[in-house]
Amino acid sequence: NFFLSDPKRSWEEMKKIFFTAMDQAQPNAAHQVLAKLENKGLLEGVITQNIDGLHQRAGSKNVQEFHGTIQTLSCLHCDRKYRLEDVDLTQVPPTCLCGGVLKPDFVFYGEGIPPRAYENSTQLALQADVMLVVGTAGQVMPACSLPLAAHEHGCKIIEVNPRPSSYTGQITDLYFPQKATEFFTQLDKIMEL
């Protein structure tokens, strides 16, 4: 694991890549309409591979962050958790009160999926009557297995993707070749959410 071998360099790179961009990111129409659907009881939950917390900021409650989140950090020594906004990121790497290095609670290459996220996501997929598959190529394991498992249990798959994915023509029942924001803006108008 690169993070464990060089936490300082890892944090320097993460600050450039993630934290600057994440500070400016805002929920878009797709995030907002998914939250509206959930709030009206039309959507059971969201399974996301994104780590940005935008679904929650848009108002979604049942969000399974399959690859973890950038919104919290954990101490590698004592496991204490911190909210991102409570951590001084000017010190690299940031440290816990115990002196241990803090690591963001998202999955790094070679790490396993958080067990609770995996279990909850699998349960949502297997209980779904309809699954919206939005903006994924369907290539990253084990996340790409969730729509397949849902389909095997009789779930209808609606795919929203500008380009065909590994699901299109295989398990997709209804395909919308659109960007997520375009599709959900139209859905919002049609359903008068």
H-helix or E-strand spanning residue 138? none
The pLDDT value given to residue 17: 83
The pLDDT value given to residue 34: 98
The pLDDT value given to residue 59: 98
CA distance 102 to 95: 5
The pLDDT value given to residue 125: 97
Structure confidence by residue, pLDDT tens digits, 78-116: 999 999 999 998 999 999 999 999 999 999 888 899 999
Q: 110 with 1: CB under 8 angstroms? A: yes
Check residue 64 and report its DSSP letter.
E
Q: In one letter, which amino acid is 135?
A: G
- Domains annotated on the chain, with CATH: 2-191 (3.40.50.1220)
The pLDDT value given to residue 47: 98
Task: Give the confidence band of 23 by pLDDT, cuts at 50, 70, 90.
Answer: confident
Question: Is 151 part of the annotated catalytic residue set?
Answer: no
Other residues' Cβ atoms within 10 Å of the Cβ of residue 123: 13
Q: Which of 31, 55, 67, 151 is catalytic?
A: 67
Both tokens of residue 65? 């962050």
The pLDDT value given to residue 69: 95
Q: Is the pLDDT of residue 48 over 90?
A: yes
CA distance 86 to 167: 40
Structure confidence by residue, pLDDT tens digits, 107-161: 988 889 999 999 999 999 999 999 999 999 999 899 999 999 999 999 999 999 9
Question: SS3 breakdown of the chain: % helix, strand, coil, rounded to 5?
Answer: 40, 20, 40
